[in-house]
Amino acid sequence: MDAFTAGLLQRIRATESDLTRARAEGDDFLVEAQLGELDDLRRLAAEHGVEVGASTV
């Protein structure tokens, strides 16, 4: 796995974790921000042929 793919997958995992935490804390603004970030990261992954797999959130 190259550095780009590894970094992108790590950012997706971190954003999913942040999203889960925001939901647990009831922070609606942060939830929306994390969802937007996650959408952007997944779109970037798709554009570069990076397999993301099933989401846990």
pLDDT in tens, 2-38: 999 999 999 999 999 999 999 999 999 999 999 999 9
Could you count the other beta carbons within 10 Å of the beta carbon of residue 41? 20
**pLDDT score of 37:** 98
- Phi-psi bin for 50: left (phi > 0), alpha (psi -120 to 50), beta? beta
Amino acid at 57: V
Tell me the pTM.
0.88
Alpha helices in 1-57 (DSSP H): 3-25, 28-47
Token pair of 6, please? 């590894």
